[in-house]
Amino acid sequence: MTNYTRRITRTSWALIFSLLLVLTPLPQSVALAQSAKEPPQADQMQVDLSQVLRLERIEVEGGAELLTVHAKLAGLEDDKNDQWVPLVSILRDTLRDENRENDRLRYVWPLTYTRPTVRQRFAAAIPFFYARVGNKENLSGRMPPPAMDLAAPEKDVWNKLFWTALQNILLDPYGTPIKASTSTYRKNTEDYRRSHIIRALSVLALYQAVKGECAFTGSEMAEIQARLLLTDKTFGGLVDNTRLEDYYVKKTTQIRDERAQNWELLRQRAEAESLYFEPLVMPDGSATHALVWVSKADLEKKHGSTYSGRFLNIANPWTDKRLQNWKGYVETRYVDADGRSVESDTPGATPVKMVPLALYGLDYPKIPSLLVDFRDTYNPKKREMSRRVLNDITRNILSISKFGSLPFFLGRTVYDFVTGRRGMDINQPSRLQSYSQLKLLLALNESINPELRDEVDGRLERVSLNPFENDLAAEANVAREQYAALLAFAKDPKGLSAKLERDRRAELMPLEHSDKAQIFFHVANVLSFGKYVHREELTVDMEDRLDVARRLDYHTNYLREVAKSNADVEVAFNLDDIRRALNFIADHGDKASAGAAQATAKIFTRTRDDEIRRACLESLTRINNNKARNELLKISQNEALDKMWRDLADANLRRRTERAQPIAATIKSSTSKAGQP
């Protein structure tokens, strides 16, 4: 290694660890005991969600429906007094019937998610430019970009991998300016999409709590939310459908527990410092954020007192001269003799002037995250920037990665461990989620004083790092205009209905081609940046074939769910539903998958119902693949079973052999008449 190289290496490491020292707060006292009480879902905090959210259903020609959740955004100032804003639209392909078994959820449109302006695109490509550059004012009337296709989540995985490879192989070798610019643009694009997916998740979670008939079944809602949650994972699009509901339940439970823990941590710390803790809640009563206040009377009484900033991460209020002559927002509240909050006209009520100090998000696993510091706007912004600055310098300037440099890998691992273990409000990946939810909360929560809402919203926009972002009022305008464009596209015969037909023809591809051919078509799609999509020719029986294929998927997934459950089949599941699924698979055994055969065999071994067992054997007999034959053979040779069942399985094996030739001929005939491109 040359002396020049050694000097560069030493300089690089000096820069990295200097950056870590600057961004990392000094060690503080040991954390409070973490008492994770559940945040109260107070009745007085909840509102009638039907007055806040409503669903609109639009029929789309060709056999689909557009489902849109509208929200009453009380936080908007609108001269027309029209506070209802469309926020999320989802397309459901119904194949022109009322049968939910063959429905397929397609596109998700967070209607505030829009194509950026030229100015925003240019700013998003500038390295180390962490700020907004203005709002998108004029829309072209084009159909809004969907954030995700629920029917093809694997596309996101391949696109991510392709762009990562393209960045590393073709763009990075051109030097630091090109490398830094392109990677910064991609990062801003990904964060912008993710922030609007997070907001769509929050809207759908609220809609799920609306009492009355829901447009989505429980499994559909779990699928939508799990798929949206998994967009944050590199290989999330490859997760099997049968695991979605479990992942959704696990993730929502984890989020609820983290909020409960942070609620209690922040409340205890605020009370220990003689400050006032106030939760900010969504319309369903769930606490996602919290405010910390100080009384002006306490500022005079406790002037010069000691203070611990652990978990609060704000400057000492008792020695801050700015608070003694505070010119910012002040709210007057009224308390009774016992210190309880009361209305102003209550006898004996005493006015108390309160100053907001900080606003926190409750979603981070270790500590409440500081989102707004009313005395120091840069305080939360530098915490927000810490992760981006560290990653941008190491990757784009110094060209160091955790996987290419052992010293950096060890140093970064120790740094992440220390900041995570000690619960430091720095280098947090979840801050984007808290900011996205806060914008929605400001729009929905009617109890927040309008002046305070404007104050928080203004500070929130100054903290934003992404040039693609628009402010709250601009997003509402974008949502209305994009929804109008989406409705126009849905009514156009060459619009959404034509797109739906093309999607169905693409859906036929796995039914027509071998696994090798499918891989080739997927690779061609990725290499063409999604421009090439293999579609089969339109045939008169297309919808009938899709009906069978979708219903087979539906019943197969249901049987796999039954098979993997640890509960008793007869207790946890409806036997009529199991019987109906087995019968459908038996009727279409020539098209059933190996997964259906495996699930059917597991159900046979776990059930005690004779009728269900006979249906399992009949399904295995008619499923035309080697997996079904092998499962029948195992049952016939299982000495632990009664002889009656072994004999019946053996008889079905012989009957299956006799039927093999006709089934093969049927399959050959079916394949030969399928439409080809």
Say how far apart CA 294 and CA 302 lie, in whole Å.
Answer: 11
The pLDDT value given to residue 7? 43
Burial class, 485, CB count within 10 angstroms (exposed 0-12 / middle 13-18 / buried 19+): middle
Query: Within its chain, how far is the Cα of 102 from the centroid?
Result: 25
pTM > 0.85: yes or no: no
pLDDT tens, residue by residue, 221-260:
888 988 988 888 888 888 888 888 888 889 888 888 988 9
Tell me the pLDDT of the chain averaged across its residues. 82
The encoded tokens of residue 659 equal 């039927």
pLDDT at 42 over 60: no
The encoded tokens of residue 425 equal 């409000």
Say how far apart CA 155 and CA 151 lie, in whole Å.
Answer: 10
Say how far apart CA 476 and CA 41 lie, in whole Å.
Answer: 28
The encoded tokens of residue 320 equal 């801050």
- What stretches of 8-101 adopt beta strand conformation (E)? 53-60, 64-72, 84-93
Say how far apart CA 425 and CA 463 lie, in whole Å.
Answer: 15
pLDDT at 50 over 50: yes
The pLDDT value given to residue 661? 53
Q: At a CB cut-off of 8 Å and minimum separation 6, what does 81 contact?
A: none
The pLDDT value given to residue 209? 79
The pLDDT value given to residue 277? 92
The pLDDT value given to residue 533? 86
The pLDDT value given to residue 673? 34
pLDDT at 120 over 80: yes
Flag the least confident range among 423-437, 515-529, 582-596. Answer: 423-437
- Longest Cα–Cα distance of the chain, Å, equals 95
Within 13 Å and on the Cβ side, how many CA atoms surround 657? 8
pLDDT at 141 over 70: yes
pLDDT tier for residue 397 given thresholds of 50, 70 and 90? confident
Residue found by looking up tokens 């005991």 in the block: 33
| Better-scored residue on pLDDT, 160 or 366 | 160
pLDDT tier for residue 671 given thresholds of 50, 70 and 90? very low
pLDDT at 6 over 50: no
Mapping DSSP to helix (H, G, I), strand (E, B) and coil, where does residue 54 land? Answer: strand
Say how far apart CA 614 and CA 579 lie, in whole Å.
Answer: 10
Average pLDDT estimate for 59-78? 85
| Better-scored residue on pLDDT, 366 or 156 | 156
Flag the least confident range among 117-131, 134-148, 484-498, 619-633. Answer: 134-148
Asked whether the beta carbons of 425 and 369 are under 8 A apart, the reply is yes
User: How many of the other CB atoms lie within 10 Å of CB of 566?
Assistant: 6
Nearest Cα residue to 287 out of 311, 266, 250, 259: 259
Identify the H or E element spanning 199: helix 176-208
Q: At a CB cut-off of 8 Å and minimum separation 6, what does 509 contact?
A: 518, 521, 534, 535, 536
The encoded tokens of residue 650 equal 């053996």
Say how far apart CA 201 and CA 205 lie, in whole Å.
Answer: 6
The encoded tokens of residue 428 equal 């947090």
pLDDT at 651 over 70: yes
Say how far apart CA 656 and CA 649 lie, in whole Å.
Answer: 10
pLDDT at 437 over 60: yes
The CA distances from residue 213 to 93, 210, 306, in Å, are 20, 8, 55
pLDDT tier for residue 350 given thresholds of 50, 70 and 90? confident
Average pLDDT estimate for 133-152? 87
The pLDDT value given to residue 275? 92
pLDDT tier for residue 422 given thresholds of 50, 70 and 90? low
Flag the least confident range among 8-17, 186-195, 242-251. Answer: 8-17
Say how far apart CA 279 and CA 335 lie, in whole Å.
Answer: 18
Q: At a CB cut-off of 8 Å and minimum separation 6, what does 30 contact?
A: none
Say how far apart CA 284 and CA 75 lie, in whole Å.
Answer: 17
Nearest Cα residue to 553 out of 509, 598, 506, 591: 591
The pLDDT value given to residue 674? 34
User: How many of the other CB atoms lie within 10 Å of CB of 308?
Assistant: 12
DSSP designation for 398: S
The pLDDT value given to residue 12? 46
Asked whether the beta carbons of 388 and 396 are under 8 A apart, the reply is no
pLDDT at 291 over 70: yes
pLDDT at 322 over 80: yes
Residue-by-residue DSSP string for 297-361: HHHHHTTT-----TTT-S--GGG-HHHHT--S--EEEEE-TTS-EE-TTSTT-EEEEEEEEEEEE
Within 13 Å and on the Cβ side, how many CA atoms surround 331? 18
φ/ψ of residue 152, rounded to 5: -140, 60
Within 13 Å and on the Cβ side, how many CA atoms surround 75? 27
